[in-house]
Amino acid sequence: MISKKSLVSIGLGSVMAAASALAMSPSAYAEQTQHTMSKPVQVEMDYLLDLPANYDETAAEAYPLIVYLHGGGAADLEQVAENSLPALVAAGDYPFIMVSPRNPREEEFFPQESVAAVVEEIASTYHVDRDRIYLVGNSRGAFSAFQIIQNYPDVYAAVVAVSGGGIPHYLDRVRAWTPFWIFHGTNDDTVRFIESAQMVQKLKELGGDRELRFSAYEGATHEETDDLAWAEPDFFEWLLKQTRVAPENYTPTAKSTDFVGEPVPVLK
């Protein structure tokens, strides 16, 4: 006589066997298929545009282009215009074109593809020297600048990052000769000084033929560094002489995976 306990055991065994057989059946597997989507992406982005007073579409020399990425959020272009660099350029006459897009994201970094679309629109519409396009970011815009140069390394001739930071590991994607000028105040309580220092340290490790400047302002706050950077006497002179053209026989950079062992101490 079979006990109730045995019947339960037999019943469970049958269920498990059936489930196992079902799992082994080819028809039980989820189907994986391959697809390709081709669909235009709509880009809508507000931006300020500054042209030189003597802008000439037929000039023999094309104009340098500065791409300025503001910090924090900006509800409209009036707030972008209040940033110190756009305000400085608007009040003077400079020999370059500057585009200052507004970040449509209130709390996030700039959308990289949208910035790329704006840069291409300006470079195609105006008399722009594509070998002299410069990426300049402040605060959250500096974080975005580091991201963008890592993903669009062939577009920009130089990078300026004020009070920002990023992921040092991916700096090995940047061209070996692309120069950087990085600014940060040691008393910055919005973005820590170490954020910039780590990026500088990584660029030093990677080597190459790049010019690397690090302006560490002793005792300066986040807001003070913003003003100090643009007030550097040779800021525009340094920036406008940079080109994305590769030097002859340049020294390639290392790769991030080449470094093992103890980390290099962070710059003070």
Task: Kindly report the CATH number assigned to the domain that includes residue 203.
Answer: 3.40.50.1820
In sequence order, which residues have a C-beta less than 8 Å from that of residue 207 and are 6 or more positions away? 176, 251, 253, 254
Token pair 């940033």 in the structure block, residue? 83
Q: How far apart are CA 231 and CA 233, in angstroms?
A: 6
Q: Does residue 14 form part of some domain? A: no
Kindly report the CA angle at 178 between 176 and 183, in degrees rounded to 5?
A: 125
pLDDT tens for each residue of 61-119: 999 999 999 999 899 999 999 999 999 999 999 999 999 999 999 889 999 999 999 99
Q: Does residue 221 form part of some domain? A: yes
Collapsed DSSP state (helix, strand, coil) of residue 44 = coil
Tokens encoding 151: 């993903």
A 10 A CB-CB count for 226 gives 21
Q: Does residue 13 form part of some domain? A: no
Q: Which residues pair with 67 in a beta bridge?
A: 99, 135
Signed CA dihedral, 98, 103, 108, 110: sign only: negative
Q: How far apart are CA 9 and CA 2, in angstroms?
A: 11
Q: Does residue 25 form part of some domain? A: no
Q: Does residue 244 form part of some domain? A: yes
Tokens encoding 2: 């079979």
Q: Does residue 9 form part of some domain? A: no
For helices 112-125 and 140-151, what crossing angle results, to 10°? Answer: 80
Return the exposure string of 76-101: e unless at least 16 CB atoms fall within 10 Å of the residue's CB, then b: eeeebbebbbbeebeeeebebbbbbb
> Which helix H or strand E contains 195, and what residues bound it?
helix 193-206
Q: Specify the number of domains making up the chain.
A: 1
Q: Does residue 7 form part of some domain? A: no
Q: Does residue 40 form part of some domain? A: no
Expressed as residue numbers, the domain containing 107 is: 47-258
Question: Alpha-carbon Rg of the chain, whole angstroms?
Answer: 27
Q: What is the pLDDT along the chain (268 residues), one digit of tens a residue?
A: 555 544 445 455 555 555 555 555 556 788 999 999 998 888 899 999 999 999 999 999 999 999 999 999 899 999 999 999 999 999 999 999 999 999 999 889 999 999 999 999 999 999 999 999 999 999 999 999 999 999 999 999 999 999 999 999 999 999 999 999 999 999 999 999 999 999 999 999 999 999 999 999 999 999 999 999 999 999 999 999 999 999 999 999 999 988 755 555 565 5
